[in-house]
Every structure is written in C-alpha cells, then in structure tokens.
Amino acid sequence: MSDARLLSAAELAARLSVSTATVYEMCKKHQWPHAKIGRLYRFTEDHYKSIIVTPEAPRVKPRTQRENVARLLASSSWPIED
C-alpha cells in the first residue's frame, strides 16, 4: 500500500498561493482533480502536479456596447461621424 499523504484544501491553497475559497470553487466546478472524502476535499501529489501544469484558459475581455456599435457601423455602408 502507498504511503501517499493527502493534502487538505488549506495546504493546497498555501502551496499554490491562492485562497481556500479558490480551491473549493475549482473543485466544485470540476476544474481541478481531487478526492472527496465525506464532505472534505483531499489532494494527492499527483493531483497537485496536474493542477500546476494545467494552463489556465486566457481571459477574453468582453466588448463594450460602444465597441459593438462601432463594429456594426464599420461593417455597414453608413458613414461614421465622430
């Protein structure tokens, strides 16, 4: 049997320099691997390694209404006045 030590959410948060709330949120969204024992989230070293090598999706800045209107006007034949 393995001597693998399980990390708590607080221990994982400290290793990753994030809050425990972030750890819980990522687990609830099934974005981070974990083991749930009762109501507790636990993490193996393999879980930790896969979390740190998984790239985060780039965040896309949503367009503003002004940008959307300008884009629509640019694609039409209407003249744009500033």
Query: pLDDT tens, 23-62?
Result: 999 999 999 999 999 999 999 999 999 999 877 777 788 8
4: in domain? yes
Is residue 19 a part of any domain in this protein? yes
- For residue 44, give every residue at least 6 positions away whose Cβ sits within 8 Å of its Cβ, in sequence order, or none: 4, 6, 7, 35
The Cα 72–Cα 23 span in angstroms is 41
The pTM assigned to this predicted structure is 0.63
Residues 6+ apart with CB under 8 A from 75: none
Residue 50 domain boundaries: 1-55
Query: Which residue did the predictor score with more confidence, 31 or 78?
Result: 31
More confident call, 55 vs 79 = 55
Count Cα neighbours of 35 within 13 Å in the Cβ-side half-sphere: 13
**Would you say residue 3 lies in a domain?**
yes
Give the domain CATH number at 17: 1.10.1660
